[in-house]
Amino acid sequence: MRLFLQILFWVAAVGSVTSSLYCLMVMVAAARFGLRKRREQSVPADFLPAVSMLKPLHGTEEGIEQNIASFFEQEYPGEWELIFCARQQSDEGLQLALEVGKRYPQVAARYVTCGEPPPQFHNAKVYSLATMDAVAKYDLYVTSDADVRVGPDYLLRMVQTLKDPRMGLASCVYIGTAHPGAGFASQLDAVGKSVEMSSGVLVADLLEGTKFALGATMAVRRKSFQDVGGFEELGQFYADDFVIGNRLAARGTGVRIATYVIRLMVQNSPSSLSFRNQLRWMQSTRRSRPWGHLGSGLTFATPFGLLGMAWGLLSGHVWLGVLWLAAMVLNRWLQAMAILAALGDPDRFYNTLIYPLRDLLGSILWLRSYAGENFYYRGKVYALKHGGRVEDRG
């Protein structure tokens, strides 16, 4: 029993120290991002290239009409076009985009289909991008997923990130936003996207610069896709966004995190489905960045606080155990408040309050990500292989 208590104490102690150091880095990185955000927003947006906005679609989901409409409502003085792509003309998402587009006749919008992806394209989104690439008029792209919602200054601000010709790609951090009335599982998913994801991104940028991309939305040059092997190469990966950013950075091409913050809308899903969706991204990260993912296990605080409390209860130091857990909860509140304030989340106080629970869930997802390689997505089973390549299991 004594040996067990010693092991329990040291595991809890080491994890508490590493997660506290990580919290300090997050607070510094969040303050740095906030300062850069204010500085860049004060600079005149005078870079106005012609832009093709590319938006892959597949079916409909809650809130997608408002998401789509937000892209038609861009206040961009330059020339731009908006292209939607789905597999079939009958796709509900594409049909909805057509209906929304009728309300904005002033926008140059096109609607194309790509058919079913061939075997070499395990990533259907990349296949849609390849189709839109073939018809796009302009060489500067802004891509986005169907669950992204933006403000009217989004396009103007995103293109400023590529004003420097040495820059090849910029992507955004985001505020995860559960739809009104969404269950608690979806709320935890949303705050995880805001805090956990943004924390890792901003700390990585602080320590070594940006060597990756976030695919929810990207401002990217046409040439950048060609430089990393083309769409057929990217289509073999689940985390195509990480691959393009990582390969561009390795070539010496500029990759950065924009200071524009988008909303990533989170569906109201049952707890089991929400867990499975979040696990899929954890598995992807494990394959794309194996060592970084392994180290991220030491950034969680709540589980180490629980281990510290367990040590206190079993060793007779009850109040010390309770204080240990309280300190780790405070740790997560400080992290969440720093990030959410920098992002400008209007619900930052509630999301900060619940974040320790998401931190605990995140640690469970992290452990579970090592349990296998298969994942389920849109009716099919896939396997994640070394480096993040995808294999269709049917």
One DSSP character per residue, 65-89 reads HHHHHHHHT---SS-EEEEEEESST
Amino acid at 238: Y
Identify the three-state secondary structure at position 217: strand
Euclidean distance between CA atoms 89 and 76, whole angstroms: 29
Domains of the chain: 43-270 (3.90.550.10)
* Matching residue, tokens 């292209």: 83
How far is 151 from 174, CA to CA, in rounded Å? 13
Which residue ranges of the chain lie beneath pLDDT 70?
Answer: 372-394
Residue recorded with tokens 């009728």: 102
Report yes or no: 100 and 69 within 8 Å, Cβ to Cβ.
yes
Rounded to two decimals, what is the model's pTM? 0.91
Check if the beta carbon of residue 226 is closer than 8 Å to that of residue 392: no
Nearest to 167 by CA among 259, 257, 81: 257
- Residue 146: how many other CB atoms lie within 10 Å: 21
What's the CA gap between 44 and 129, in Å, rounded?
Answer: 31
SS3 content of the chain, % helix, strand, coil (to 5): 55, 15, 30
At 356, give phi and psi (nearest 5°).
Answer: -55, -35
- pLDDT at res. 120: 77
The answer to whether residues 35 and 68 touch, using CB atoms and an 8 Å cutoff, is: no
* HSE-up (13 A, CA, CB side) for residue 26: 28
The pLDDT value recorded for residue 2 is 84
Q: What is the pLDDT of residue 370?
A: 84
Structural tokens at position 264: 């990533």
